[in-house]
């Protein structure tokens, strides 16, 4: 039974350590714990008070309804107080302007290069086509 003697020795050691503690240290530790519990209680009651107050005001004013959120998300300008997409503000005239459908259409790609090679590179092709056309021209010059 070597384990029983070890646990008995450990128990005796802990009992001796507890007996050697000063009563002031124990009292101070218990008071510290009481202050922390009091602070935690105050924080908990504060959060509870905020939640209850918000719930009461939400119930008093009717709370959330899906219709309100749909009107804002749907882009109804009269009810949402917002602006259409693409609105531009002019501070000199203090007015908002909206682009026409032609101006608002998205353009993809690049504008054709003016004065480029005559073998199809100036028709608005991408840079890889232009690079290959340039390589073909150089190869033709070397072969001549």
What is the span of the domain harbouring residue 49?
A: 2-58
Condensed to tens digits (0 to 9), the pLDDT of residues 7-35 reads 666 666 666 666 667 888 889 999 999 99
Answer whether residue 44 is part of any domain. yes
Answer whether residue 16 is part of any domain. yes
Q: In this predicted structure, what is the pLDDT of residue 137?
A: 93
Q: In this predicted structure, what is the pLDDT of residue 44?
A: 97
Cα 44 to Cα 50, 55, 56, 70: the distances in Å are: 10, 17, 18, 36
Answer whether residue 30 is part of any domain. yes
Cα 118 to Cα 107, 134, 135, 137: the distances in Å are: 25, 11, 14, 11
Condensed to tens digits (0 to 9), the pLDDT of residues 81-124 reads 567 777 888 888 888 888 776 655 556 666 655 555 555 545 55
Tokens matching residue 70: 């749909």
- Who wins on pLDDT, 72 or 84? 84
Of 22-26, 58-62, 83-87, 131-135, give the lowest mean pLDDT range.
83-87
Answer whether residue 35 is part of any domain. yes
Answer whether residue 41 is part of any domain. yes
Overall number of domains in the chain = 1
């Amino acid at each position: 039974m070597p384990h029983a003697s070890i646990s008995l020795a450990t128990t005796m050691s802990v009992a001796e350590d507890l007996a050697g503690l000063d009563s002031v240290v124990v009292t101070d530790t218990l008071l510290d714990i009481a202050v922390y519990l009091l602070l935690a209680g105050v924080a908990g009651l504060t959060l509870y008070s905020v939640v209850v107050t918000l719930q009461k005001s939400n119930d008093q004013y009717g709370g959330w309804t899906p219709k309100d959120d749909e009107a804002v998300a749907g882009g109804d300008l009269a009810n949402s107080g917002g602006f259409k997409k693409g609105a531009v503000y002019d501070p000199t005239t203090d007015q908002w302007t909206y682009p026409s459908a032609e101006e608002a259409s998205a353009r993809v790609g690049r504008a054709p290069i003016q004065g480029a090679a005559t073998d199809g590179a100036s028709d608005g092709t991408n840079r890889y086509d232009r690079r290959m056309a340039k390589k073909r021209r150089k190869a033709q010059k070397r072969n001549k």
